[in-house]
Structure 1
Amino acid sequence: MSPATLLLVDDEPEILVALADLFEGEFRVLTAPCGADGLALLAREPAVDVIVSDQRMPGMTGDAFLARAREVSGAEALLLSGYADLEAVISAVNNGRIAGYAPKPWEPAALLSMVRNAVERRRLARALDTERALLRGLLESSTDALSFKDVGGRFVRLNAVKASALGRTVAECAGRAEAGLLPPGAGAALLAAERTVMESGRPAEVTEQRSAEGAPPRWVRVNRIPIFDGAGRVTHLATIEHDTTEQRGLEERLHQAEKMQALGTMAGGVAHDFNNLLTAILGSLDLLTHTGLAEPRQQRLVRNAITAAERGSTLTQRLLSFSRKRELQLRASDINQLVREMDDLLLRSLGEGIELRHQLEAELWPALVDPEQLGLALLNLCINSRDAMPEGGAISIITRNLAVGEDMVHDLAAGDYVSVAVADTGSGMPPAVLAQAFEPFFTTKEVGRGTGLGLSMVYGLTRQSGGTATIVSAPGEGTTVELLLPRAQQEVDRTPECRGAAAPLVAPVSVLVVDDDPGVRGVTETFLTNLGHRAVAVADGEAALQMLEKSDDIRVVVTDLAMPRMTGRELAGRAQALRPGLPVLLLTGYADPEVVPEGFPVLRKPFRQADLARCIALLLKPPSA
């Protein structure tokens, strides 16, 4: 520790020399011959610890000098006087706040002891000032709620954040027990928690959920720390309260993303296997319809089975959208037109007692989205709204243009978006349900009525499209789900799609079928045979390459994309290396754009005979045609 600094002020040079000689061995000594010079020196040397001043000096007495010094310095002060001037001493005590008085001539040991004590007091005062400044800075700058209480639970110190959380000012809270400012139940729980810490003498950390009327619940991490006196007794309690709501939300979103990724991987695998089964089932039923069923009852049963298989295919496509394994067909779409075209389907699906309303912006921008998947999403949302209104109500589909600024919508970049919202007058959602609404497999419906995939798939569609989805709901106030879709930069393509067009007639050729699933392989082979082609079927890529090496007449390869050992992508590349220009058609139960090679046509499972016929015809079409 550096030596303390003393300022000696006396108009007699001999006394200054004697005092300096006494103190220089232990302290850093500064001297001044009068009060004015002493004040000037204090202005230059703010770190003076103790002032030793004579009382009787020309121009300015000691008590007057110390009173002036007190205005610019916190140094301890000692007064020296060769006269028994009681009035001057009293004045120095009152105005200069002197810590001691010594007569002239002084006793060296006593004066040295007096100065040492004054230095120690000054150092303690500085340490206390530092602690107070640190405490004040901590209280004022911290975004956490901080407070210090006595053993009775009364506030000794607290910051504005804590006072604001209690709906009061710092002055209104000081000296009052926090438990008395809370509802009875919460106050009793707080007293019990604080008593436990004080009695045990050990810090405690808990996370509490706090709710305010009309506001979503918040999560707060509370640290309670006992403070001890020199005898080891708990005298105070420090409390630090950190709001972890945002952090918890981020952790939950990360956990949600991890769950979605895991479930997506699972859904993709399930959908792949299920599509293989559906291809075999739907293909077999399709073949049955071409055998000329004699009885109307047989025809009806087969049609019912085909309808059920096609519904299974639609469900699989929804699973693939959820897992991001289905490649969305994003294009500029007129959302208003899509909503109007869905009116009949929605009215039939919603049933009686539900009023369907439209609030469509006249000059709506085109949106970049897969219109087929958006139609499924709107149907899903409307059915959810219907189920929330068992006694009937109104569903509104609302569209509008929306310019989104930075940080305006969570996880959404700034830009122009098209909003399409489905709002109902139903029962609404409590905060706990609302927080989980987009989670996969979460449902409040009874067993057998809800899959819990609807809202998560809607959310997945908007995210894959470059937008997002939000929900606003409260008990008794209905629910609004808003889909934000990026504005398309190109105009809406009004050309109708050619679905189900008849395949052009082509001459029969030899087709190599490659699929590890025997059911799919058999149905594909039969389809091709019915179309007049000669089909050769093998179970894997190695067998396919061997067949290509020994059979020169194979004109087309139809291969599954996902196969063990050698994928369809690898086979396509090696087959065309062996036979340049050989047409290859890829079959897939999940068209992941990352694994489908460019330049190869893709037919998604399950498919019908007519779908396969069109693809083969396109592959065999002459380049100039």
Structure 2
Amino acid sequence: MSPDGSLDPGLATAGSGRATILLVDDEAEILTALTDLLEERFEVVSTTRPEEALAMLAGGLQPAVILSDQRMPGLTGDVFLERARAYTDAEALLLTGYAELDAVVGAVNRGRIAGYAAKPWEPEGLLAMVGAAGDRYALRQALATERALMQGLLENLPDELSFKDAEGRFLRLNAAKAAALGRGAEACLGRREAEFLDGEAAARLARAEATAASGAVTELEERPGGARWVQVSRVPLGNGVLVTIGRDVTEARQMEARLRQADKMQALGTMAGGVAHDFNNLLTAILGSLQLAERRLVGEQPALQRLLRNAGMAAERGSALTRRLLAFSRQNELALRAVPVNGLILGMDDLLARSLGGPTDGLVTIRRELGAAPDTAVVDPGQLELALLNLCINARDAMPSGGTITLSTEAVRVAADSVPDLPAGDYVRVTVADSGVGMTPEVLARVCEPFFTTKEVGKGTGLGLPMVYGLVQQCGGGMTIESAPGAGTTVSLYLPRGGAEAPRSPGQSGEPPVARRGVRVLVVDDDPTVREVTAGFLADLGHETVEAADGPSALRALEGDPGVRLVVADFAMPHMTGAELSERVRAMRPGLPVLIVTGYAELTAIPPETHVLHKPYQPAELAKRVAALLG
């Protein structure tokens, strides 16, 4: 121990790692004899003057043992050793002649000196006495180190830490634990925790500690009022001693609640989009048929016109309802911006540490392999955090016996068709990999389906991965999942590199006037009612129409009819989507314009450069789109 009281056990040993002994005797011959006896076990430092020995100690020398002669000029040995206490807690031993024995015995009895040896000494006996003194010093230093570590842990650990004896009485506890009990630490020592709890909490504690006696136990406790959640681990140490660690996981619970809410909202959005799509198809047929019927009325028929207008107004209200439904499903618009992905992941340290608790607490290791320069990614940072947290929680749940979760980033250039549904280009790849149980091919094929889950009832919604998939799709990225039974799971998110322009809604550019010259238009829709309405609108605009019920039929019609100047196709069709048909048309007839008509639900699957008309539409909207495409 240094003069200021701080622990520094390294000063008691020299560079060789052996303990140091300080020899003080005014006779050089005796010092030589002692050095010969002790140098095999100790690093020996010696002096013939006690004043010089004190100067050495004041200068930082920290021996394990001081062996001093009693009779020396200037200072006697017992006085020298007493003064040396100001600088060191080394074991103190005296060498003395028989004439000084009474004084030495008195010094030993007063506790200032650990032992003595008479001159002339017996070598084996003196060596044993010095060795024992060195062992005692090493043991004291080790004990002081353990005590300092324990004290540091008790004083600085933010978690609630306590040690209890076999009767449940506090042996030690830190300030956080005492504060949770509403007491000071000193007031809790020697008392049972149950004394500070109400009857129900005390009974719950008794059951938990009885269970913990058979092995390590972790459970979740809700603190008074439900305002705090604490994850409590109880570990028996033997001899009846029980250590209890309580970690506040309130923030993690709140985040999980927000995740569940986000999952629910994602599910509702998916459902709302699907319902809106179906309604929009119906409304397109209804509104279109009503408008065509009103145009085809012969003569003045006010009553019939009024009925048609009333029906049209009702259909328009239905259209407004579907727009509200769609607004609800997309109410959390993404705030896309360039985000430094490495910084975002590093900033999640505390969130991940608090969220990945539970049965595997202490067994899950988070490893980061962040690329040196992965660049920024165009993404909503809050949604990306939620997505990564979701993936890490899934990874934790896949490792019931513990394991490693690896978060990595890398700037990559993706070739065409190398990642499903992802255009070629520059991306930031963010990967979450675990060493868990993995998935079978059957499970892997369904993991992105909404509501599909392999977890127990109440443990998962089946919406986590669909939410992540929806996020990367909305950002213009992609996702891959690799897994096999026993080989863990790797989820890779491909996010557009920073600097890319924010996605634009199709058709934002200005529209030219309605075309004045009729052309042949191919109308493709699997719903015959909607197809008939669209063809009727085009015919009223002066265009000639050719109809097809699906993508393959449309391609055959194009092959046999070179006069087609425009294709108007529904997006959601069997056998081939409108987007796929557009690609085939572009390959077959470069330059032939294609207009996709959609009920909104499929927007994420439509390439951003595609011309889109949303259902239900007005005849004027269709006219403008057709005129713009025909130039």
* 1:458-473 matched pairs, under 5 angstroms: none
Structure 1 residue aligned with 2:179: 164
Deviation at 1:570, TM superposition (A): 5.1
Q: Structure 2: how far apart are the matches of 1:599 and 1:119?
A: 82
Determine the structure 2 residue equivalent to 1:243: 248
Unaligned runs of 5+ in 1: 331-409, 414-439, 442-459, 466-502
Alignment pair present for 1:605 and 2:605:
no
Does residue 522 of the first structure (1) align with residue 532 of the second (2)? yes
Aligned pairs for 1:332-351 (under 5 A) are none
Task: Work out the CA distance in 2 between the residues paired with 1:547 and 1:62.
Answer: 116
1:248: Cα distance to partner?
3.3
Considering only aligned residues, what root-mean-square deviation do their CA atoms show, in Å? Answer: 4.2
TM-superposed CA distance for 1:182, in Å, is 3.1
Q: Distance in 2 between matches of 1:201 and 1:327?
A: 52
Partners of 2:323 and 2:80 in 1: CA distance: 92
Q: Is the CA contact (8 Å cut-off) linking 1:64 and 1:92 kept in structure 2? A: no
Which of residues 310, 319, 333 in structure 2 aligns to 1:313? 319
What CA distance in whole angstroms lies between the structure 1 residues aligned with 2:61 and 2:254? 51
C-alpha distance in 1 between matches for 2:273 and 2:125: 92
Identity %: 55
- 2:325 and 2:109 mapped to 1: Cα distance? 87
Partner deviation per Cα, 1:159-183 (whole Å, 9 max, x = no partner): 2222333344334434443332333
The answer to whether structure 1 residue 48 and structure 2 residue 63 are counterparts is yes
Aligned to 1:139: 154
Q: In 2, distance between residues paired with 1:168 and 1:246? A: 24
Q: Does 1:207 align with 2:205?
A: no
Please show how residues 69-468 of structure 1 align to structure 2 within 5 Å: 69-82=84-97, 83-91=99-107, 93-94=109-110, 97-197=112-212, 200-212=213-225, 217-228=227-238, 233-234=239-240, 236-254=241-259, 256-257=261-262, 260-261=265-266, 264-265=269-270, 267-290=272-295, 292=297, 306-324=312-330, 411=382
The code of the aligned residue for 1:538 comes to: A
Shift of 1:109: 3.3
Q: CA deviation at 1:128?
A: 0.5
Matched AA of 1:8? L
Tell me the TM-score normalised to structure 1 length: 0.61
CA contact (8 A) 1:66 1:92 kept: no
* Deviation of 1:252 (Å): 4.3
- In structure 2, what is the Cα distance between the partners aligned to 1:14 and 1:507? 125
Deviates more, 1:292-301 or 1:24-33: 292-301
Change (3 A) 1:557 1:196: closer
3-state DSSP of counterpart to 1:102: strand
Helix, strand or coil for the counterpart of 1:72?
Answer: coil
Q: Deviations over 1:118-160 (max 9, x none)?
A: 2221121111111111112222232212122233333322222
Structure exhibiting the larger radius of gyration computed from Cα positions: 1
> Could you tell me how far 1:7 is from its partner in structure 2?
2.0
CA pair 581-227 structure 1, distance change in 2 beyond 3 A:
closer
Residue 135 of structure 2 aligns to which amino acid in structure 1?
E
SS in 1 for 2:116: strand
Q: Hey, what does 1:437 align to over in structure 2?
A: none
| 8 Å Cα contact 1:326/1:591 also seen in 2 | no
Following TM superposition, by how much is the alpha carbon of 1:70 offset from its aligned partner in structure 2, in angstroms? Answer: 1.7
Residue 351 of structure 2: aligned partner: none
Q: CA deviation at 1:301?
A: 6.7
**What letter corresponds to residue 607 of structure 1 in structure 2?**
Y
- Which structure 2 residues correspond to residues 490-569 of structure 1 after superposition, within 5 A? 506=516, 508-530=518-540, 533-551=543-561, 553-564=563-574, 566-569=576-579
Cα gap change, 1:188/1:122 in structure 2, threshold over 3 Å: closer, same or farther? same
Q: 2: CA distance between counterparts of 1:52 and 1:92?
A: 14
Residue 28 (str. 1) matches residue 35 (str. 2)? no
**Alpha-carbon shift at residue 303 of structure 1 (Å):** 5.7
Question: Per-residue deviation at 1:526?
Answer: 3.1
What residue is the counterpart of 1:333 in the other structure?
A: none
Q: Distance in 1 between matches of 2:316 and 2:577?
A: 27
Task: Supply the AA of the counterpart residue of 2:43.
Answer: R
Looking at structure 2, the residues matched to 227 and 30 of structure 1 have their Cα atoms a distance apart, in angstroms, of: 43
Call closer, same or farther: CA 1:109–1:326 in 2, change over 3 Å.
closer
Q: Contact 1:62–1:92 at 8 Å: present in 2 too?
A: no
C-alpha deviation, 1:520, in angstroms: 1.7
Q: Which residue is equivalent to 1:500?
A: none
Q: TM-score, normalised by structure 2?
A: 0.61
Question: Is residue 208–residue 221 contact of structure 1 (8 Å, CA) maintained in 2?
Answer: yes
How many angstroms does 1:314 deviate by?
Answer: 3.4
Worse overlay, 569-578 or 290-299: 290-299
Q: Where does structure 2 lack aligned partners over 5 or more consecutive residues? A: 1-15, 337-380, 385-449, 452-469, 476-512
Q: State the distance in 2 between where 1:327 and 1:571 align.
A: 29
Which amino acid in the other structure matches residue 220 of structure 2? T
Q: Which amino acid aligns with 1:278?
A: L
1:366 paired residue number: none
**Residues 1:8 and 2:23 aligned together:** yes
What CA deviation, in whole Å up to 9, does each residue of 1:4-30 have, x standing for no partner? 332222222333233333333433333
Are the counterparts in 2 of residues 559 and 585 from structure 1 also a CA contact under 8 Å? yes
* 1:521–1:190 CA distance, 2 compared to 1 (3 A): same
1:509 to 1:110, Cα distance in 2 relative to 1, 3 A: closer
Deviation, 1:50, is: 1.5
- Write the letter of the residue equivalent to 1:524: T
